[in-house]
Amino acid sequence: MRKIIVVLLLILLPFLATSQDSLDELLDQYNNESIPYISVTELSTIESEVILLDAREVNEYNTSHLKNAIHVGYDHFDIDTVYKQNIDKKSKIIVYCSLGIRSEDVSEILKEAGYNNIYNLYGGIFEWKNKDHKVVDSDENETDKIHAFSKQWGKWLHKGKKIYKK
């Protein structure tokens, strides 16, 4: 009986993990807030004064990203990618991903490397688009498309055209 319960939990856990009622609950489940959040509203007022790092995979970034964002990735993130950009360690850096989960992990690596003015975009590019802000494609043209990563995570994107391509 115990084995059956364990197997059922293992099967159902991925579905339970994304059944939160609010973005706060979702981020509380995955993040430890070791990096402070910055809201979409706050970022929109200082966007030209910060370094934006996109912690999503290249196919997500190429679909759309915040204007002037630098792609650093997640699965194969390498701090040397940031070093090659010659970003001053005192610069205000905003890291984002789809929702703000992967970006916290990348931000923690940046913090360990000595960057000390780092923020995690609360709700990521999904929240950015949900609040009617513009995104651009790989040619820097405005687009309505957002890579929604998966059907489970895509439920958090309410505006724009969801793309799921690999």
- The catalytic residues are 97
Smallest Cα–Cα separation from 133: which of 45, 37, 55, 60? 45
Count the neighbouring beta carbons within 10 Å of the beta carbon of residue 123: 24
The pairing of strands 135-136 and 118-121 is unpaired
The pairing of strands 135-136 and 142-143 is antiparallel
